[in-house]
Amino acid sequence: MNIVVLVKQVPDTETERKLDPADSTVDRAASDGVINELDEYAIEEALRLKEKHGGEVTILTVGPEQATDSIRKALSMGADKAVHVCDDALAGSDALQTAYAIAQTLGTLEYDLVILGSESTDARTGVVGAALAEYLGLPQLTLANKVDVDGTSVKIQRQTDDGYQVVEATLPAVISVVEKINEPRYPSFKLIMAAKKKPVTKLSIAEAGIDADKVGLANATTQVVDFAPAPPRTAGTVVKDEGNGGVLIADFLASKKFV
Amino acid sequence: MSYRLSDEHEELRRTVAEFARTEVAPVIGDYYERAAFPYEIVAAMGRMGLFGLPFPEDVGGMGGDYLALCLALEELARVDSSVAITLEAAVSLGAMPIYRFGTPEQQATWLPRLCSGEALGAFGLTEPEGGSDAGATRTTARLDAGEWVINGTKSFITNSGTDITALVTVTAVTGQRPDGRPEISAIIVPAGTPGFTIGQRYSKVGWCASDTNELVFTDCRVPEANLLGERGRGYAQFLSILDEGRIAIAALAVGLAQGCVDECLRYVGQRVAFGREIGRYQAIQFKIADMAARVHTARLAYYDAAARLLAGQPFKKEAAIAKLVASHAAMDNARDATQIFGGYGFMNEYPVGRFYRDAKILEIGEGTSEIQRMVIARELGLPA
């Protein structure tokens, strides 16, 4: 079974992240790039499926030159090879355009499953998986916290606020995963060294079959018109316990859906 | 001339740093308080291949090198020294002698499990009456009907009494040399061998989540084939192991010293005194600047010693210098960090309190600072 895992490089959430005031895109110089955290769960799930069913795991990244670091990390975890679509024309593409670019690139690959993290820690649109499935005309299984493949079908548990739904589809399919699905492994030194020799195919948009008129900031379907830093944290609400403290705490937790 | 790490070493460093921050930092304080051995963390380190770092793949290792081990130790010790010393002792004292001096049979028997971290090895050199004077070994081993019969006591032996300890290699007097001095050999004693008992578990000032025990051997019999390396070469073999181990301890000390800087940088931006964050006061800034300078110089010292080791050049003096300056940097930084944290620095719930307790042993273990100075002086050609 061949699996393609979509990997995005994002600014490190441990550092201060900024947008570039000139064009409202991510200021990549402001912080270190790291692999999007949820994508690590996607890679882990793909590796586990490979260990069980055989086949190959391919990393697909659409992003700038420096995303190479994240690709290398993905390969160090145990993926077999990578495809990196890297082209200046892609700069500023929004979620829909990115999904289009990924769909076009997937057209050049053979796969049974596409797995991705349910959202990225930078843009957090959470729509790429759904848009991608639409472009490819494939079933979408989103927010998976468990994946089982049986022959030509795949079954997932789809995480919801109240529990989970069981969703089944035939292969090929697109699956987005949540962090409850597994515990991503740390790369061993052996794999880190082996990663250096694994093939990374670099494609321009033309080689990936991507139409230049459909990507990039100038052709984006959505536009960031304004942005502002998050307001500083305010002092919380003080609730006085007049014998009903327990009830108030329970109500508060329920309102935040913790209970 | 550059000490820029290769991409692979840098990625290993980052990976271990992330592991330490995510998996070790949140839980290690609790193990430390209970003086409990962190089996779960050690198992996770094993899955990452840390115990096999400097060994080739054909014996079960990761195919890395000694620098890779040092980088892992530095990043672990930046968060906690107990797990770092567990790794250091397991690799450079437990597995390395078997890799370096063992027969193919001994290597095949022990190294795969030691490299995977499923089993730990220990080395028993120090005795109650012989620390720095390691040649004054009193433990004896005599051959009887194809078996070594071992009698004696070993002190402060790391990793010797855990549930996953597989073996202890002990040095023992096996006869007399022609010049009248004792003949010292190294012998592998598997855990659980009758006559080999774990004595008291020490109550330690620091390294509280690591395993350190006194070992007692009473007519303990092991096969003659358990001799490690050449008969009569036990002491010389061990000295060569200690030389490179000093680089590893230096790396561990640099990690602790860096951890002090990390903690202080976080704290001085939050803590307010006399109306300003204390990080705005020059008295604090100068302390932290000195701490950073110590870390940097100590790191360069161990990088240099490691680079010489990897290049096959003599490194004895440089390793001793690295261990000397790095352990002092750790001690000085722990003292300064604790001072910056004030009363909180004296509380076990803050990492700097743990760093303070863990630092002192670095000036003692695997060769005291005085021994390092002796080694350096000899290497400079001064008379013995």
Digit-by-digit pLDDT tens for chain A (259 residues) are 999 999 999 888 777 777 887 777 777 776 778 899 999 999 999 999 999 999 999 999 999 999 998 999 999 999 999 999 999 998 888 889 999 999 999 999 999 999 999 988 887 888 899 999 999 999 999 999 999 999 899 999 999 988 999 999 999 999 999 999 999 999 999 899 999 899 999 999 999 999 999 998 888 888 888 888 888 877 777 888 888 888 988 988 988 888 7
- Write down the H helix ranges in chain B: 7-19, 25-34, 39-47, 66-77, 81-88, 96-101, 104-116, 234-268, 282-310, 316-341, 351-359, 369-379
Above 90 in pLDDT, residue B149? Answer: yes
- Asked if A190 and B47 come within 8 Å (Cβ–Cβ), the reply is no
A185 close to B (CB below 8 A):
yes
Report CA torsion sign: A30, A44, B13, B32: positive
Q: Domain of B164: which CATH number?
A: 2.40.110.10
With beta carbons under 8 A apart, name residues in chain B contacting A187: 11, 15, 48
Query: Considering the domain boundaries, does residue B281 fall inside one?
Result: yes
Q: Residue A69 sits in which domain range? A: 3-231
- The type of residue at A132 is L
- Asked if A187 and B63 come within 8 Å (Cβ–Cβ), the reply is no
pLDDT tens across B338-352, in order?
999 999 999 887 899
Candidates B6, B8, B10: best to mutate against A (most CBs of A within 10 A) is: B8
Candidates B6, B10, B11: best to mutate against A (most CBs of A within 10 A) is: B11
B5 close to A (CB below 8 A):
no
3-state secondary structure A90-147: HCCCCHHHHHHHHHHHHCCCCCCEEEEECCCCCCCCCCHHHHHHHHHCCCEEEEEEEE
Contact A26, A20 (CB under 8 A): yes
Query: Considering the domain boundaries, does residue B296 fall inside one?
Result: yes
**A60 to chain B nearest CA, in Å?**
20
pLDDT of residue A92: 85
- Asked if B49 and A185 come within 8 Å (Cβ–Cβ), the reply is no
Query: Considering the domain boundaries, does residue B265 fall inside one?
Result: yes
- Phi and psi at residue B197, in whole multiples of 5°? -120, 145
**Residue A150: how many CB atoms within 10 A of its CB?**
10
Pick the closest to residue A37 from A181, A166, A206 (CA basis): A181
| Residues B211 and B261 placed together within one structural domain of the fold | no
pLDDT of residue B141: 96
Above 70 in pLDDT, residue B135? Answer: no
Chain A residue nearest residue B65, CA to CA: A189
Above 70 in pLDDT, residue B320? Answer: yes
Report CA torsion sign: B371, B375, B377, B383: positive
Helix B234-268 with B66-77: angle, nearest 10 deg? 40
B130 bridge partner residues? B127
With beta carbons under 8 A apart, name residues in chain B contacting A192: 8, 11-12, 15
Contact B288, B264 (CB under 8 A): yes
pLDDT tens across A108-147, in order?
999 999 999 998 888 788 889 999 999 999 999 999 999 9
| Residues B247 and B357 placed together within one structural domain of the fold | yes
Chain A segment 49-88 residues within 8 A of B by beta carbon are 72-73, 76
| Residues B215 and B244 placed together within one structural domain of the fold | no
Query: Considering the domain boundaries, does residue A218 fall inside one?
Result: yes
Candidates B9, B13, B15, B16: best to mutate against A (most CBs of A within 10 A) is: B15
Query: What CA–CA distances, in Å, run from B349 to A153, B25, B230, B352, B354?
Result: 51, 12, 48, 9, 8
pLDDT of residue B200: 76
Query: Considering the domain boundaries, does residue B32 fall inside one?
Result: yes
Q: Domain of A169: which CATH number?
A: 3.40.50.620
User: Among the three residues B231, B258, B273, which one is the final residue of a domain in this structure?
Assistant: B231
| Residues B109 and B40 placed together within one structural domain of the fold | yes
Facing B12 at nearest CB: one of A72, A185, A189: A189
User: Among the three residues B211, B231, B251, which one is the final residue of a domain in this structure?
Assistant: B231
Contact A32, A11 (CB under 8 A): yes
Above 70 in pLDDT, residue B134? Answer: no
pLDDT of residue A222: 87
Pick the closest to residue B269 from B354, B340, B333, B335 (CA basis): B340
| Residues B311 and B366 placed together within one structural domain of the fold | yes
**B317 to chain A nearest CA, in Å?**
29
Q: Domain of B113: which CATH number?
A: 1.10.540.10
Candidates A12, A40, A189: best to mutate against B (most CBs of B within 10 A) is: A189
pLDDT of residue B146: 95
User: Among the three residues B120, B145, B160, which one is the final residue of a domain in this structure?
Assistant: B120
| Residues B226 and B240 placed together within one structural domain of the fold | no
Contact A115, A6 (CB under 8 A): yes
- Asked if B7 and A196 come within 8 Å (Cβ–Cβ), the reply is yes
Q: Residue B30 sits in which domain range? A: 7-120
pLDDT of residue B131: 65
Is B147 among the catalytic positions? no
CA A169, A171, A174: angle at the middle one, nearest 5? Answer: 75
- Asked if A189 and B64 come within 8 Å (Cβ–Cβ), the reply is yes
pLDDT tens across B258-314, in order?
999 999 999 999 999 999 999 999 999 999 999 999 999 999 999 999 999 999 999
Query: Considering the domain boundaries, does residue A258 fall inside one?
Result: no
pLDDT tens across B191-205, in order?
999 999 998 778 899
- From the candidates B263, B366, B370, B379, give the one annotated as an active-site residue: B366
Total domains present in chain A? 1
- Rounded distance, CA A4 to CA A102, Å? 11
- Asked if A188 and B49 come within 8 Å (Cβ–Cβ), the reply is yes
pLDDT tens across B38-76, in order?
999 999 999 999 999 999 999 999 999 999 999 999 999
pLDDT of residue B339: 97
**B97 to chain A nearest CA, in Å?**
22
pLDDT of residue A24: 76
| Residues B126 and B110 placed together within one structural domain of the fold | no
Total domains present in chain B? 3
Sorted by sequence, the CB contacts under 8 Å of residue B308 that are 6+ apart come out as B314, B315, B318
Chain B residue nearest residue A190, CA to CA: B62
Query: Considering the domain boundaries, does residue A252 fall inside one?
Result: no
A61 bridge partner residues? A84
Chain B segment 58-87 residues within 8 A of A by beta carbon are 62-64, 68
Rg (CA), chain B: 21
- Write down the H helix ranges in chain A: 37-53, 68-77, 95-106, 128-136, 189-195, 205-208, 245-255
Query: Considering the domain boundaries, does residue A126 fall inside one?
Result: yes
Confidence class of residue B181 from pLDDT cuts 50, 70 and 90? Answer: confident
Chain B residue nearest residue A186, CA to CA: B48
| Residues B323 and B361 placed together within one structural domain of the fold | yes
Query: Considering the domain boundaries, does residue B309 fall inside one?
Result: yes
- Rounded distance, CA B72 to CA B90, Å? 13
- Rounded distance, CA A74 to CA A13, Å? 18
pLDDT of residue A12: 80
A247, two tokens = 């009830």
CA end-to-end span of chain A, whole Å? 39
Facing B12 at nearest CB: one of A185, A192, A196: A192
Query: Considering the domain boundaries, does residue A67 fall inside one?
Result: yes
Query: Considering the domain boundaries, does residue B1 fall inside one?
Result: no
- Rounded distance, CA B79 to CA B85, Å? 12
| Residues B134 and B203 placed together within one structural domain of the fold | yes
Query: Considering the domain boundaries, does residue A133 fall inside one?
Result: yes
Supply the DSSP string of B36-97, one letter for each residue.
---HHHHHHHHHTTGGGTTS-GGGT--S--HHHHHHHHHHHHTT-HHHHHHHHIIIIIIIHH
Chain A residue nearest residue B64, CA to CA: A189
- Rounded distance, CA A48 to CA A50, Å? 5
- Rounded distance, CA B19 to CA B34, Å? 22
Above 70 in pLDDT, residue B132? Answer: no
B375: alpha, beta or left, given left = phi > 0 and alpha = psi -120 to 50? alpha
Q: Exposed/middle/buried for A4, CB within 10 Å: 0-12, 13-18, 19+?
A: buried
Across the A:B interface, residue pairs with CB atoms under 8 Å apart total: 41
- Asked if A186 and B48 come within 8 Å (Cβ–Cβ), the reply is yes
- Rounded distance, CA B231 to CA B252, Å? 33
Q: Is the peptide bond before A172 cis (omega within 30 degrees of 0)?
A: yes
Chain A residue nearest residue B12, CA to CA: A189
Query: Considering the domain boundaries, does residue B345 fall inside one?
Result: yes
Query: Considering the domain boundaries, does residue A187 fall inside one?
Result: yes
Least confident of A130-134, A228-232, B17-21, B154-158: A228-232
Query: Considering the domain boundaries, does residue B2 fall inside one?
Result: no
| Residues B19 and B81 placed together within one structural domain of the fold | yes
pLDDT of residue A46: 97
Query: Considering the domain boundaries, does residue A236 fall inside one?
Result: no
Q: Exposed/middle/buried for A244, CB within 10 Å: 0-12, 13-18, 19+?
A: exposed
**B282 to chain A nearest CA, in Å?**
26
Q: Exposed/middle/buried for A219, CB within 10 Å: 0-12, 13-18, 19+?
A: middle
Above 80 in pLDDT, residue B107? Answer: yes
Facing A192 at nearest CB: one of B8, B18, B44: B8
Chain A residue nearest residue B72, CA to CA: A189
| Residues B239 and B358 placed together within one structural domain of the fold | yes
Coil, strand or helix at B134: coil
- Rounded distance, CA A30 to CA A114, Å? 31
